Amino acid sequence: MSIRKQQTLDGAPNPRRRLTREDRLRQLLDVAWQLVRDEGTDALTLGRLAEEAGVTKPVVYDHFVTRAGLLAALYKDFDQRQTAIMDAAILASEPTLLSRATVIAASFVDCVLLQGGEIPGVIAALASTPELEKTKRDYEAIFLNKCREWLMPFVGSGELKPAGLRAMLGAAEALSEAAAKGEVTAEQAKEELLEVIVAMVTRSARTEVV
């Protein structure tokens, strides 16, 4: 049985290093993101991913099982990076409404722009089946719970209602997508989202007073 080999700079063949499962997953996700970036979400299939990554189909199926599983893994990958960036920024922020709202707005927009124009396509694809829609909703719930925790100190005895938080998330996604498409600048998207967040918190606090 032949073994595929790589050539060193001096021409001597070396066996190709076997990736760990974690490293292989990272490689496959990176290739999948690049494929979506270059050709769109519709081009993303497990077979095509195997071809682009230079691995056999069973390797890809072992990690994702189905195309839906691959899409869910991409969204999880995006969400984990977004959460890590936002958590670190919140820890470094001042304990004020303006500071916390600025972090949420800036981190959300920056994460989408860092991922590029491919994330809107992945998000849209997640709505294609009830199972994928549930995956998206589950991660959204985690994000909204974090936002509620970060912003609750500024509503006094008021309440941040689910409808208001959902409206904030809708604005965040729409503004980030617009920035990714170049319809607005990143700063415009952040400023508008900041106003939405501050208005939501201020309204919640005033409602309780009334």
Fold of 14-65: Arc Repressor Mutant, subunit A (1.10.10)
Residue 155: count of CB within 10 angstroms of its CB:
20
Q: How confident is the model at residue 179 (pLDDT cuts 50, 70, 90)?
A: very high
Q: How confident is the model at residue 4 (pLDDT cuts 50, 70, 90)?
A: very low
Compute φ and ψ for 14, nearest 5 degrees: -125, 140
For residue 117, what pLDDT is reported? 67
Question: So where are the chain's domains?
Answer: 14-65, 71-210
Q: What is the pLDDT of residues 119-168, one digit of tens each?
A: 777 877 877 777 778 888 898 999 999 999 999 999 988 889 999 999 99
Q: At what angle do helices 21-39 and 118-125 cross, to 10 degrees?
A: 100
Which helix or strand (DSSP H or E) is residue 5 part of? strand 5-7
For residue 207, what pLDDT is reported? 54
For residue 210, what pLDDT is reported? 36
Fold of 71-210: Tetracycline Repressor; domain 2 (1.10.357)
Query: Looking at this protein, which amino acid is placed at residue 132?
Result: L
Alpha carbon of residue 127 to chain centroid: 15
Q: What is the pLDDT of residues 160-170, one digit of tens each?
A: 999 999 999 99
Q: Of 84, 98, 119, 88, which Cα lies nearest the Cα of 191?
A: 98
Q: What is the pLDDT of residues 16-74, one digit of tens each?
A: 567 899 999 999 999 999 999 888 888 999 999 999 999 999 999 999 999 989 998 99
Question: Does residue 11 or residue 140 have the better pLDDT?
Answer: 140
pLDDT beyond 50 at 6: no
CA distance 29 to 97: 36
Give the mean pLDDT of 195-209.
Answer: 83
Q: What is the pLDDT of residues 71-127, one digit of tens each?
A: 989 988 988 888 898 999 999 999 999 999 999 999 999 988 887 667 777 877 877
